[in-house]
Structure 1
């Protein structure tokens, strides 16, 4: 399914006929409630349920460009990987609202093999979307993202734990050789967090509905190993054979070690985001620092665990 960036700016002129309720409470991640947008439930002019997402200015330093997110969500909706996008305009995306028995997944629910493998398949299907010239020029790189976010933290006088630079130093052998380890860039959802998965809680056992992907904040064209790293960061801890997660995303099993390295880098990136948001956010009700420190602990743990890439990094 091609991504059409030319038609993502759709007028919301008919919105005066729509009715909106209260802002939707969302459990995005631990200590990250509504961190990347304001969600409002409503109905359109035909009384069909819709969900409006307004992107907040706080997410702009780390989110993909808005037109990229909108194009990715639109294309994914057209192949039933994500909810259908209805209209897009002015940092706002309106999508079809799923029935009440659909909700964001919780991490322990991804221990269910069916749900986990179905989620991996949805990520893999995104890789098959074809892109136009505009999107193909907008690539994400987690290494560039970490560098720019660290610089942003320093410029904003955000205190950084020493562990961040220590971890990055341990990753230097990988970073120096990363160009020879990369896979061809493809469209990716980009974030393996369980909260970015919608599941149907009333699914019949003999005819289950496939989960859908939501979020899309860091989506775009990227090395799929980077997305695999995000998936490993979230669910690798309780998967006995981590290489099966990599192959479930359409990659070779030999890609496991680079994906594990990207997993650590992904944790460092979100640690920096959490610490920066904690220091700069106007929303004091959200404990972004707690989230940032939690991701830093995860990064350290991945370096130390016997099944992690620590030994491989030293041998590079």
Structure 2
């Protein structure tokens, strides 16, 4: 998992008011946070699926603090079908609203990270070129099939979900922006589901049905998500001075997931049936 590596997180008591939660971005993570993250967080708060934004400054975002009994979700929480369903319901509320007007493209992000990795001599795996080529095929197939841009969270990490009983909030809109909503769904499924039966049930929860094309799109987007974070991990391992965080290990883990999906015997079938 990666949790609170882009920012220092501080709880601040406010005179005459509720506590605030400050995200203070690390300088070495500046390229990993979209410039409109605060606007995205405000939009989510207005939709009732994110905490209120109290203020912002360069590299700092102040949010309403979700004190206990609120707690950070884990992958184990998301493996509960009802909890996963409520996360997908929250994401659907984002997708149903008007677009933000700011594009987030995971394919562009992958290419930017690949360029950065080459420039910094990050320890890429031997098959990096093949992985990038496979994702280019995914990009072409999805573009040919078409999609609508909707406001998306674009991050399926379990720790970006806060729980209080059945109440739920999405946090960390550092990668938010307009995108194919099925990428948003896929990143969440990719985090929570190990088996196809679980993936199909999650797709059905979101869409009311699970046809082959929706399932295939989620499987492909899951690999895209893994490659994006894998490249991020191995690149940040050489671009940050914070040696106490195992960026490389995390990146290798996500690259393994990407490799498994992109090398699956069904990969071409997923591409052809979108």
Q: Does 1:97 align with 2:65?
A: yes
Q: Does 1:59 align with 2:32?
A: no
- What is the TM-score with the length of structure 2 in the denominator? 0.90
How far has the Cα of 1:310 moved from its partner? Answer: 1.9
Cα distance between partner residues in 2 of 1:251 and 1:151: 40
Change (3 A) 1:314 1:198: closer
Give the corresponding residue for 1:130: 98
Give the corresponding residue for 2:231: 272
Q: 2:83 aligns with which of 115, 133, 138?
A: 115
Change (3 A) 1:248 1:70: farther
Cα distance between partner residues in 2 of 1:90 and 1:38: 14
**Count of residues in correspondence between the two structures:** 271
Q: What's the secondary structure of 2:127's corresponding residue? A: helix
Give the corresponding residue for 2:114: 150
User: Contact between 1:182 and 1:223, CA under 8 Å: does it hold in 2?
Assistant: no
Q: What's the secondary structure of 1:198's corresponding residue? A: strand
Give the corresponding residue for 2:176: 219
Q: Which structure has the greater CA radius of gyration?
A: 1
How far has the Cα of 1:178 moved from its partner? Answer: 2.4
Change (3 A) 1:127 1:315: closer
User: Contact between 1:174 and 1:261, CA under 8 Å: does it hold in 2?
Assistant: yes
Q: Which residues of 2 match residues 158-173 of structure 1 at below 5 A? A: 158-173=122-137
User: Contact between 2:3 and 2:159, CA under 8 Å: does it hold in 1?
Assistant: no
Cα distance between partner residues in 1 of 2:136 and 2:50: 36
Q: Which runs of 4+ in 1 moved over 4 A?
A: 313-316
Q: Does 1:188 align with 2:145?
A: no
User: What do the CA deviations read for 1:197-245 (whole angstroms, capped 9, x no partner)?
Assistant: 1112xx3xxxxx3211111111111111222231232123146242332
Give the corresponding residue for 1:7: none
Give the corresponding residue for 2:192: 235
Q: What's the secondary structure of 2:32's corresponding residue? A: coil
Q: What's the secondary structure of 1:184's corresponding residue? A: coil
C-alpha RMSD of matched pairs (Å): 2.1
User: Contact between 1:198 and 1:212, CA under 8 Å: does it hold in 2?
Assistant: yes
Cα distance between partner residues in 2 of 1:240 and 1:70: 36
Cα distance between partner residues in 2 of 1:91 and 1:60: 8
| Structure 2 unpaired stretches of 5+ | none
User: Contact between 1:69 and 1:217, CA under 8 Å: does it hold in 2?
Assistant: yes
Give the corresponding residue for 1:34: 4
Give the corresponding residue for 1:281: 240
Cα distance between partner residues in 1 of 2:155 and 2:103: 15
Q: What's the secondary structure of 1:162's corresponding residue? A: coil
Give the corresponding residue for 1:24: none
User: Contact between 2:141 and 2:272, CA under 8 Å: does it hold in 1?
Assistant: no
Quick check: 297-306 or 287-296, which moved more? 297-306
